[in-house]
């Protein structure tokens, strides 16, 4: 009986999570998969990129560079609103984020042979937003205090 209750509770929780508005936005989900991670060290690029199936769009080629933002969606999504400012056609974060920039070491490689060098940085980030959701990571921006 207890297992059935837990199973029912998990099913309800999954249904609630799946019905959230952002679930209907595939570009936002892709952004999260490719760029958002709570914790990560610079030496984990190969493993994380492999486990998340990150490659060049519509290809088996290794992505040249991929940046991971070390934060939650609760901190990143507000950049598209009050926590961001216009930056050309993009939006720039008001606050810097810890990021890991993964750069391909073996040019021209294809999955699963992608090998990356990771570098930890603290930078503001520039993203594209669509209907209040981050949908594209464009670049990191060095931020210097005056």
Bond preceding residue 112 cis, omega within 30 of 0: yes
The span from the CA of 53 to the CA of 76, in Å, is 22
Query: Which element (helix H / strand E) includes 127?
Result: strand 116-130
Q: What are phi and psi of 19, to 5 degrees?
A: -90, 0
Compute how many other C-beta atoms are within 10 angstroms of the C-beta atom of residue 27: 14
Tell me, yes or no, if 89 is annotated catalytic: no
Residue of 25, 31, 34, 35 with catalytic role: 35
Compute how many other C-beta atoms are within 10 angstroms of the C-beta atom of residue 78: 16
The span from the CA of 18 to the CA of 92, in Å, is 29
The span from the CA of 127 to the CA of 69, in Å, is 11
Residue of 29, 44, 136, 143 with catalytic role: 136
Q: Give me the active site residues, please.
A: 35, 136
């Amino acid at each position: 009986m207890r297992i059935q209750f837990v199973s029912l509770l998990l099913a309800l929780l999954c249904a609630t999570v799946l019905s959230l508005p952002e679930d209907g936005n595939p570009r936002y989900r892709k952004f999260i998969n490719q760029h958002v991670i709570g914790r990560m060290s610079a030496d984990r690029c190969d493993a994380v990129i492999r486990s998340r199936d990150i490659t060049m769009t519509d290809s088996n080629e290794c992505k040249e560079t991929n940046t991971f933002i070390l934060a939650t969606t609760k901190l990143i999504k507000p950049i598209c609103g009050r926590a961001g400012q216009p930056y050309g056609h993009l939006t720039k974060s008001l606050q810097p984020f810890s990021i890991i920039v993964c750069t391909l070491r073996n040019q021209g490689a294809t999955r699963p042979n992608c090998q990356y060098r990771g570098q930890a940085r603290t930078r503001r980030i520039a993203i594209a937003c669509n209907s209040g959701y981050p949908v594209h990571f464009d670049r990191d921006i060095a931020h210097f205090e005056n």
